[in-house]
């Protein structure tokens, strides 16, 4: 594990943040420094690849929790190959890119054919959005197990809702409230609730809680990043995050960190809480 002293917003003195998170990156030097400083802040390790050939060779191997790439370094053919490789060997991918002509074709391919999380350079929230994307990397096995458990219910939802939910579980990025989710799908909040009920879900709130768990599971179980920081990244308080974990999987965040449960067990517990009335 990496070990690094770092001041924490929740405490007056330095704390030691330890992690075994691994980021596989394919980035230009100036961007590499930004990602490196964020990964170091989480105590994570970073493997920088010098060319697209080595990136493609790395995807099939299990090492690495998240890929971080700049599409301006790839050709459209390479982007297509990355998409195909990720379909066979899934893992979270963060696309960190400037908006320019050099990257546009590859950006379009990755956006249409993968569950990539996009962070665009040069926007005011660039740093905070990238920090969130790198910390909230969904556990691949957990998201797959949960989506498998609730697949029949998801199939009963209108595609515009199901696609938004599936993207949230796959990328770790989602609307922060049911009102925001309703607006994204063009429905009223009441209309959204009705569709969740018809599909057999207990409530939309529990679906958002499940997203929090999938997004935060890796950071909680594989790092010592303070729980308060993880909760803020998820848009809630530590107390609220704890309550969500207790309701959905029967254990507090600190309890899960001390004794992680298997992702299969966590997915089964969440599925039951999502669908049992």
Range of the domain at 203: 140-275
pLDDT tens for 262-273 read 999 999 999 999
Residue 16 has pLDDT above 50, yes or no: no
- The residue among 90, 117, 135 that closes a domain is 135
- How far apart CA 277 and CA 271 sit, in angstroms, is 12
Domains: count for the chain? 2
pLDDT tens for 123-145 read 899 999 999 999 999 999 999 99
- How far apart CA 194 and CA 173 sit, in angstroms, is 24
Q: What per-residue confidence (pLDDT) applies to 54?
A: 95
88 and 199 share one domain: no
- The residue among 118, 135, 152 that closes a domain is 135
- How far apart CA 137 and CA 3 sit, in angstroms, is 20
Mean pLDDT of 76-85: 96
Beta strands 22-26 and 66-69, pairing class: parallel
pLDDT tens for 85-116 read 999 999 999 999 887 887 899 999 999 999 99
What is the pTM assigned to this prediction? 0.86
233 and 155 share one domain: yes
Phi, psi (degrees; rounded to nearest 5) at 14:
-70, 150
123 and 148 share one domain: no
180 and 222 share one domain: yes
208 and 179 share one domain: yes
Q: What per-residue confidence (pLDDT) applies to 13?
A: 40
Contact 62, 87 (CB under 8 A): no
As a whole-number percent, the residues of the chain with pLDDT over 90 amount to 77
Q: What per-residue confidence (pLDDT) applies to 41?
A: 86
Return the higher-pLDDT residue of 102 and 195.
195
11 and 129 share one domain: yes
- Report the CATH number that the domain containing residue 87 is assigned in CATH: 3.40.50.2300
103 and 201 share one domain: no
Q: What per-residue confidence (pLDDT) applies to 18?
A: 57
- The residue among 135, 163, 184 that closes a domain is 135
93 and 144 share one domain: no
Phi, psi (degrees; rounded to nearest 5) at 211:
-60, -45
223 and 112 share one domain: no
237's tokens: 């308080």
User: What rounded mean pLDDT belongs to the chain?
Assistant: 89
Contact 185, 192 (CB under 8 A): yes
- How far apart CA 206 and CA 136 sit, in angstroms, is 19
Q: How many CB atoms lie within 10 A of CB 117?
A: 25
- Total number of residues shown for the chain: 277
Q: What per-residue confidence (pLDDT) applies to 66?
A: 93
């Amino acid at each position: 594990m990496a070990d690094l002293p770092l001041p924490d917003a929740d405490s007056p003195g330095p704390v030691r943040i330890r992690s075994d998170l691994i980021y596989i990156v394919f980035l230009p030097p100036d961007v590499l420094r930004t990602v490196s400083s964020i990964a170091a802040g989480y105590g994570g390790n970073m493997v920088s690849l010098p060319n697209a050939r080595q990136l493609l060779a790395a995807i099939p191997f299990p090492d690495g929790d998240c890929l971080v790439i700049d599409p301006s370094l790839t050709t459209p053919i390479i982007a297509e190959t990355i998409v195909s490789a990720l379909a066979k060997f899934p893992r979270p991918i963060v696309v960190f890119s400037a908006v320019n002509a050099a990257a546009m074709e590859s950006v379009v391919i990755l956006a249409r054919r993968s569950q990539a999380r996009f962070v665009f350079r040069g926007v005011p929230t660039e740093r905070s959005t990238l920090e969130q994307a790198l910390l909230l990397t969904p556990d691949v096995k957990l998201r797959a197990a949960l989506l498998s458990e609730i697949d029949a219910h998801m199939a009963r939802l209108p595609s515009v809702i199901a696609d938004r939910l599936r993207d949230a579980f796959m990328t770790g990025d989602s609307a922060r409230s049911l009102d925001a989710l309703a607006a994204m799908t063009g429905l009223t909040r009441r209309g959204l609730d009705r569709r969740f009920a018809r599909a057999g879900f207990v409530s939309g709130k529990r679906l958002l809680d499940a997203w929090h768990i999938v997004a935060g599971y890796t950071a909680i179980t594989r790092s010592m990043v303070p729980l308060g920081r993880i909760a803020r990244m998820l848009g809630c308080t530590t107390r609220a995050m704890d309550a969500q974990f207790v309701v959905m999987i029967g254990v507090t965040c600190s309890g899960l960190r001390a004794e992680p449960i298997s992702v299969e067990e966590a997915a089964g517990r969440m599925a039951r809480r999502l669908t049992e009335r």
